[in-house]
């Protein structure tokens, strides 16, 4: 029962991040912290705290490699600082997402959330007021959908 309540709270948090990022291009920082806590509690509730810590650590490593690659690409190829290429909110979102699922599931969903964000941006870029991509918002929408779908499947498919 706690699982259902936490998922509902998480979906609302993610939808609020989506709304704030797409409308204002600024998200309250504590929403990332709150979502990360709920992500971790849901994962730990399903597979235990020790395994959740191991998964989250490996996921942090994956995200570190992604951020390092983005920083190198930004610095050497497009000649910009990383902070000019990706927002701090996006980095906070990446970090909070590290606490979501087992490593295999996390990598698959993370990559698909990036593709989803690219497709949404391509669709909405002509209608957008801002030129920047609300990456954290689009990823929040994707993960809100994942958690909504998780109401209809067994948790072992996401957390195992």
Q: What pLDDT, in 10s, does the model give residues 65-118?
A: 999 999 999 999 888 888 888 889 999 999 999 999 999 999 999 999 999 999
Share of the chain above pLDDT 70, in %: 95
Residue 155 DSSP code:
T
Residue 11 clears pLDDT 80, i.e. is over it: yes
Tens-digit pLDDT profile for residues 132-155: 889 999 999 999 999 999 888 776
Stated pTM of the model: 0.91
**Segment 18-46 mean pLDDT:** 93
Residue 156 clears pLDDT 70, i.e. is over it: no
Residue 52 clears pLDDT 90, i.e. is over it: yes
Q: How many helices (H) and strands (E) does the chain have?
A: 8, 0
Residue 159 clears pLDDT 70, i.e. is over it: no
Report the Cα 156 to chain-centroid distance in Å: 20
Alpha helices in the chain (DSSP H): 2-23, 29-47, 49-76, 82-85, 88-97, 103-124, 135-149, 156-159
* Structural domain for 41, as ranges: 2-159
Instruction: Give the angle 116-106-100 at the CA atoms, nearest 5°.
Output: 105
Nearest to 2 by CA among 36, 34, 44, 30: 44
Q: What is the number of structural domains in the chain?
A: 1
């Amino acid at each position: 029962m706690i699982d259902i309540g936490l998922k509902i709270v998480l979906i609302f948090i993610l939808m609020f991040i989506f709304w704030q990022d797409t409308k204002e291009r600024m998200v309250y920082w504590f929403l990332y912290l709150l979502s990360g806590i709920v992500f971790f509690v849901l994962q730990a509730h399903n597979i235990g705290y020790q395994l959740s810590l191991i998964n989250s650590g490996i996921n942090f490593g994956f995200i570190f490699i992604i951020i390092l690659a983005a920083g190198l690409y930004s610095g050497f190829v497009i000649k910009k600082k990383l902070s000019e290429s990706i927002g701090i909110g996006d980095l906070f979102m990446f970090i909070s997402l590290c606490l979501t699922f087992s490593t295999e599931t996390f990598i698959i969903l993370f990559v698909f959330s990036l593709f989803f964000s690219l497709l949404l941006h391509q669709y909405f870029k002509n209608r957008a007021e801002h030129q920047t991509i609300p990456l954290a918002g689009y990823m929040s929408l994707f993960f809100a959908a994942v958690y909504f779908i998780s109401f209809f499947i067994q948790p072992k498919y996401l957390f195992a």
